[in-house]
Structure 1
């Protein structure tokens, strides 16, 4: 259960803006790459959290750095005592090219499209990584646009990142909904005027300090069922 009460919706959104890393891609497999270079797999999660922290810090100070550059820099810190840091870094980064979708994503995306919703992505990662993920998963045709903050003024959760996606799609903020597993992303979208759905894959409490999501679901099919129950936007 979440510790923040979701805020009610009176209609479906016209546009869903989906996060990619961890929301759609199953990044637990990167732990195997850490093992293969002689590093404990439990370091994968704090490494990813650290690279997001660094990306946010750069965004706040006016730099829109490439995700891959920040990820490599953060890996150099984690792997600093390895004999061949560069080779180990390349091996782990290569794992992004082989990540699978979460088990619920394919059916969930199809269910959301069946409701007539427009689907796009907005990732702090690269377009190429997202495109490859969707091609491997057989869902690329479901997305109108595959967008990345690489082409926006700043990383999410900066308001300008969400504004970039809305501008590309020609949709007002109040007619769009972000879908993400990250409370910081939900919070950012809400602050930018979008509605938001939190995909709670772990059962962890939602942070009280963050703006609450409008909808909370444990999977994308569950989110589709919740949206189906709402009146369609006219």
Structure 2
């Protein structure tokens, strides 16, 4: 039996049971289908730890001046402090309550020797600064943020399929780390980067 025939059979069965006209019975069944369909789980639209980790990974991959990069799996939630050892590490077999979840943290060192870290929460902080900070607070133009804006406002299922550019990730992570933009991203279509030290470099093929 096709779906349409099955639906018509349901409508006629209801007509016989209730004495309702065809259109009334059809609308009543459609209303029941809508009300009984499962609602999206609470928080299903939120940006996930995997999405923020991808932003941090892209940032570090396109920022070769950072070194000593170390990724850690961490637990986030009300019981996190009870699940870690003295060094702040979490056993992979740790039992998590429904209020706790696995997340990530990455530490790295800049050329001056200053250690920094990023986490899911810090990436979200940087996103909020870029999205809601406004030009008067951040100095960023619409052209600089439009891809991030579109990504942020996509339905969750679509957003998770999309990949932000290295320039977008650089901008988000700078606001997460420093609260402002310090470095710009040279992302020319030709793939060439403006080099102020070009005359000091040895051309390829020469020793």
Fold equivalence (TM over 0.5): no
Greater relative contact order (Cα < 8 A, sep 6+): 1
TM-score of the pair, normalised by structure 1: 0.23
